[in-house]
Amino acid sequence: MMMKAATMRVTRRQALGLGAGATAVVIAGQTVGPAIAKGQTAKDAIKAFTGGAEAKSGKVSLSTPEIAENGNTVPVSFDVESPMTAADHVQSVLVVTDGNPRPGVATFHFSEMSGQASASTRIRLAKTQNVIAVAKMSDGSFFMDKRLVKVTIGGCGG
Amino acid sequence: MAKVKPRVKVPKKAEAGEVITIKTLINHKMESGFRKDKKTGELIPQKIINKFTAEFNGKPVFSADVRPAVSANPYFQFKVKVSESGTFKFIWVDDDGSTYSSEKKIKVGG
């Protein structure tokens, strides 16, 4: 009996140790921060960016072509309505897609010296899907805009 | 790979307090990690520009964390409000750890 109890205690301790180890791994994973992991969806990526806060529509205007013949390079630009002063400015803008193998496209960081929170770039789209831009304001609120892009020839893999 | 050469367009002159537009382009394949080698059928490992930063007189003004979904030869256009003359520095960081940079001067006012 005694022996059995002892072994049980050890195994339980081991189990607890394992549990603690696993938690540590999870925490370490979180400290890596907004890096978008594999298997994440656009929703997860937005949630990681906003910290669960709801992104209201408005303020952000995203512009994309309605139809992209070549998914390898689709021009995307956005402009966020903001005075861009030290007290009230756009901190960053996350751009994600909901139909690519991985949702993340890019995160843009602005400063008071930006003058205007707008940027444009060219992105890859694997198929017809939504492009979503979420802006983080200096007061902690979030705004978003969404555009559907029809893609004729996909631009991922090969 | 062909030599990586950044190309940047910054106006030479501006009024104090003017919001200027900067255009940047760098030639880079932006290997997404999803493409397969046609001969072997194996995935080609990811190799992209993962970070772009613009500094003005040593202070960061704009940056972007970049993922594989950004097209080959990544292009970024953005705005900066300038209040004094100075130098812009643009830095691109590759997955392999190498960095590419470019500098441009701007004269403000006068």
- pLDDT, averaged across chain A: 81
CA distance B99 to chain A (A): 18
CA distance A56 to chain B (A): 23
Q: pLDDT, tens digit, for every residue of A58-110?
A: 999 999 999 999 999 999 999 999 999 999 999 999 999 999 999 999 999 99
Model confidence at A6: pLDDT above 60: no
Average pLDDT over residues A21-28: 41
| Contact check, Cβ <8 Å, B81/A84 | yes
**B56 contact residues in A (CB cutoff 8 A):** 113
CB burial of residue A127 (10 Å; 0-12, 13-18, 19+): middle
Cα B71 to Cα A72, A128, B37, B48: the distances in Å are 6, 16, 19, 10
State which residue of chain B sits closest to A119, comparing Cα positions.
Answer: B78
**B42 contact residues in A (CB cutoff 8 A):** none
Cα B9 to Cα A15, A144, B53, B79: the distances in Å are 60, 29, 15, 12
Q: Are B77 and A77 in contact (CB under 8 A)?
A: yes
Higher-pLDDT residue of A128 and B2 is A128
Q: Which amino acid is at A144?
A: M
Give pLDDT, residue B3.
80
Give pLDDT, residue A24.
41
User: Of A105, A108, A110, which is closest to B69 when you measure between CB atoms?
Assistant: A105
Residues facing B93 on adjacent strands: B51, B99
State which residue of chain A sits closest to B83, comparing Cα positions.
Answer: A113
In angstroms, rounded to a whole number, what is the distance separating the alpha carbons of residues A139 and A156?
A: 37
User: Of A36, A113, A155, which is closest to B67 when you measure between CB atoms?
Assistant: A36
Write down the pTM of the prediction.
0.81
Model confidence at A140: pLDDT above 50: yes
Give pLDDT, residue A34.
45
Q: What percent of chain A has pLDDT over 90?
A: 66
In angstroms, rounded to a whole number, what is the distance separating the alpha carbons of residues B96 and B64?
A: 18
Model confidence at A148: pLDDT above 70: yes
**B61 contact residues in A (CB cutoff 8 A):** 111, 113-114
Model confidence at A31: pLDDT above 50: no
Give pLDDT, residue B1.
53
Q: What percent of chain A has pLDDT over 70?
A: 73
- Residues of B within an 8 Å Cβ radius of A: 19-20, 32, 34-36, 56, 59-72, 74-81
Which of B51, B12, B9, B11 is CA-nearest to residue B28? B51
Q: What is the pLDDT along chain B (110 residues), one digit of tens a residue?
A: 568 899 999 999 999 999 999 999 999 999 998 888 888 889 999 999 999 999 999 999 999 999 999 999 999 999 999 999 999 999 999 999 999 999 999 999 86
Task: State whether the Cα torsion A51-A54-A57-A58 is positive or negative.
Answer: negative
Give pLDDT, residue B37.
87
Element containing residue B49 per DSSP (H, E): strand B49-56
Give pLDDT, residue A124.
94
Give pLDDT, residue A39.
61
| Contact check, Cβ <8 Å, A106/B78 | no
Confidence of residue A12 (pLDDT cuts 50, 70, 90): low
In angstroms, rounded to a whole number, what is the distance separating the alpha carbons of residues A80 and A109?
A: 12
